[in-house]
Amino acid sequence: MAASASSPAKTMVVKIGSSTLVGPDRALRRDFIADLAAQADELAGLGWRLVVVSSGAIACGAPVLGFGSRPADMPSLQACASVGQCVLSAAYDEEFRARGLLTSLVLLTRQDTARRTSYLHARDALGRLVELGVVPVVNENDTVTVDEIRFGDNDTLAALVSCLVSADLCVTLSDIDGLYTANPALDPDARFIPRVDRIDAGIIASAGDSTTSVGTGGMITKIRASRILMTAGIASVICSGAEPRALVRLARGESVGTLFAPPAGRLDIAPRKLWIALGDSAHGAVTVDAGAVRAIVEGGSSLLPVGITAVEGDFDAGATLDVRDPDGFTVARGLAQAGSDELRLAAGRHQDEIASNRLLAALAGRPAIHRDELIVFA
């Protein structure tokens, strides 16, 4: 993963959780940000450009506003985010500027990325900032975000940003040093997993839960984000934020934390499909039979109504849907060609049955999800 100054520049996205940025005393860890700036400076010398996805706005704002703990109501959370984002941005600016590095602030919501045009504008802006040598600091815009337009966790946001900037590596600095076979805080027999080549139901089950009092994510969100990155052909690492000089060591090719390696020789995924995977949250789901799983995963086919066994949620045509196998494991994501009511009626039916049904005739000859709007996860 190392790059020399004479090689084409590589891009690293680093996601930093609230529990890493804010200490037990609820104060922002300026020493951590100063060390991050020093690593960014060294990375530049190694031919790497850095993008930071930073949590911590609410955690920084709560004590400033006099809250004894993280508030529960939305207006207070938004107020904390507004104040805390200023604290956080100032710290990044001061510590990086001391190293001769310029930072910028980029705040996003699902509303910004769910629309294809806004998604592309965000991609162009981030790409230009990186080209200009700026270190973008990206966060969810928690001041104006409500549940309907939330990413929900910055692990998903980091995966999105990695795809937007065509990153070579995405690193999550967390309060745990990587993935284990079980939650090490609960199971003394849990074993560390240094490398993952495929994320299956077993890996998902081992993720457990590692939420903290200052953060909203957990290991499960990190695993899901890593799976999308593997699909996009982007390597990712989960490691401890306390690991000395982790980013520089990774850039030099050292093994740190758990590496999620994308499949060798995987073809480039069309940018539109990456947008389908990450731009918006799923508005529903379809469960499909084993034959349909083989057709879309191994055969690259569209999803036909005959392969659907169940439809979950209420949605319109064009909505983002998860596609699940008979065991409930999500194997793909795509855009629905019809609304939930139509798909429920069409589920399990062959094309001739659909064509002869006056209520479903409009679906005749059309798949439930077209292969050009379907992304199969690694």
Encode pLDDT of 55-86 as tens digits: 999 999 999 999 998 998 989 999 999 999 99
Strands 10-16 and 48-54: parallel
The residue ranges of every structural domain in the chain are 10-271, 282-376
| Per-residue pLDDT at 279 | 83
Closest CA to 153 of 75, 250, 78, 53: 53
Q: How far apart are CA 103 and CA 16, in angstroms?
A: 16
Contact at 8 Å (CB) between 42 and 4?
no
Across the beta sheet with 320-324, the strand order is 308-312, 284-288, 320-324, 330-335, 374-376
Angle at 256 between CA 254 and CA 257, to 5 degrees: 155
Contact at 8 Å (CB) between 197 and 178?
no
Strands 374-376 and 330-335: antiparallel
CATH of domain 282-376: 2.30.130.10
Q: Which residues does the chain have with pLDDT short of 70?
A: 1-7, 145-152, 208-217, 265-268
- Take residue 32 and report the two structure tokens written for it: 């951590």
- Identify the three-state secondary structure at position 119: helix
Contact at 8 Å (CB) between 209 and 145?
no
Is it true that domain 10-271 has CATH number 3.10.510.20? no
| Per-residue pLDDT at 175 | 85
Strands 192-193 and 179-180: antiparallel
Closest CA to 106 of 133, 152, 137, 135: 137
What's the sign of the alpha-carbon dihedral 76, 52, 222, 282? Answer: positive
Alpha helices for the chain (secondary structure H): 18-21, 30-45, 57-64, 74-97, 110-114, 116-131, 154-164, 201-206, 219-231, 246-251, 271-278, 290-297, 340-346, 351-355
Q: Residue 20: exposed, middle, or buried by beta-carbon count in 10 A (0-12, 13-18, 19+)? A: buried
| Per-residue pLDDT at 8 | 77
- Take residue 181 and report the two structure tokens written for it: 């076979």
Q: How far apart are CA 44 and CA 40, in angstroms?
A: 6
Angle at 131 between CA 3 and CA 142, to 5 degrees: 105
Contact at 8 Å (CB) between 49 and 86?
no
Q: Based on C-alpha coordinates, what's the Rg of the chain?
A: 22
Beta pairing partners, 286: 311, 323
Question: CA of 305: how far to CAs of 79, 294, 338, 377, in Å?
Answer: 46, 15, 10, 20
| Per-residue pLDDT at 111 | 80
AA identity, residue 134: V
User: For the chain, how are helix, strand and coil distributed in percent, rounded to 5?
Assistant: 40, 20, 40
| Per-residue pLDDT at 5 | 44
Q: How far apart are CA 354 and CA 364, in angstroms?
A: 6
